[in-house]
Structure 1
Amino acid sequence: MSDMHAIKVVHLKKKVQTQEGELTILKGVDMEVKPGESVAIIGPSGSGKSTLLGLLAALDTPSEGEIWLDGSALSNLGEEAKAALRKKKISFIFQSFMLVDTLTALENVMLPAELAGMKDAKAKAQAMLERVGLSHRVNHLPKQLSGGEQQRVAIARAFICEPKVLFADEPTGNLDGGNAHKVADMLFALNAELGTTLVLVTHDNQLALRCQRQFTMTEGELAETTPGQRESKAQAQGETKMKEAAC
């Protein structure tokens, strides 16, 4: 694979067995992402977005096709090697934050750094929390934080080890408009500063438009959208919302 790609996907398929028979979730997906790019995957629920994200992050195995992640063909790696790859090069941000309830904000951010053997994990965690505006919340437990604050802790945790690739699954899905905007600002600022490749799944078209490239997933098929298509879609969605509000 060319070194010019952080991610390369060729004819990726995912099939599962159900009570009704075989179900094809992904139908031959092709995709290339360059290092440092920000990419959004949009589409309706059940279209295969989260399945694709799990495959790209080496959390699942495709039925057919190949994935290269930072030059490594995932099909050539065993489970231990995949775990090592995730630990070294990948971070994940979840819609539900996925913080450890019994750890403080500082300890949650420190956790991946400690697992990676960083000697200055505490200092780096403090610096990351300061970056996301939470230096005054370092000793608070997740239950003592708002949803927006919890997601900012999750962002700090995701970036502390400076991953090559960051996957985000609906990173603003559980937040109100104001907090969603703040979290998105921090996500893209750190993405740009650290040169991390960002791949996010979202239902939010405005968030998707902030990415350099956008893909639409429809019934297991992935297609890149052009700027003109994105603008038309955003305008159509805005007009629909206005009509609904008027009814």
Structure 2
Amino acid sequence: MRTPLIPQTDVRRAADRFTTEIGWLDSKHSFSFGHHHDAANTHHGLLLVNNDDVVRPGFGFDTHPHRDMEIVTWVLQGSLVHQDSEGHNGVIYPGLAQRMSAGTGILHSEKNDSWRLAGDVHDEPVHFVQMWVVPDEAGITPGYEQLEIDAELLGGGLVPVASGMDKHGGAAAIRIKNRYAALYAARLQPGQHVELPEAPFVHLFVPRGTVELEGAGRLETGDAVRFTATGGQRVTAAEPAEILVWEMHATLA
């Protein structure tokens, strides 16, 4: 018999995240990542990685491998160029959802080439959040998908960004290979609010702006909240803000 989940609202502040700074990269890690390891902070629900990255123009991640992971990238500022060993090429920018299924193995690179794509030289960094969830099964065929959802975000509500859940059907922008997980985004103007989904595991991240979380108070840029066995709280923007929300109906063993 499974042990019943205890309702929890666990606020994680931006300043408490792991940090990687290497000149061209400023990366903040919500969970253990790379050489940053904390056995008590490896995941929440099905979410293993929530990296908040800023990359200088002309730099980026050279070709590197991934395997058996669903990787969703969400850009807040600038543009990110993706290339992979399956022949996919794309430019990810604000309002464009992107998913890469690593499956049996894939090589890819991610670069801030906005200066070159724009046709002249400028120094706009690219700011993006990259999130990893495990797939339902290992060894699937690698894949890639991206879709523009900027128009849907204008409504101010929670917009499905990526989902493997049956309830979304064709409503989700992109499909991930996990039937227990879904990612939402919302762009909120001051006073606008959304209600969080109810699920065994929910992860709220504020990549930009300031919001008020019902029952927990103010959340600033970079703050996150891990909910267990709870949901339905109201999130209200105190200033222009963007939020990312994972709804998860399973967890890692």
TM-score scaled by length of structure 1 = 0.31
Structure with bigger helix share is: 1
Query: Whose radius of gyration is greater, 1 or 2?
Result: 1
TM-score scaled by length of structure 2 = 0.30
Structure with bigger strand share is: 2
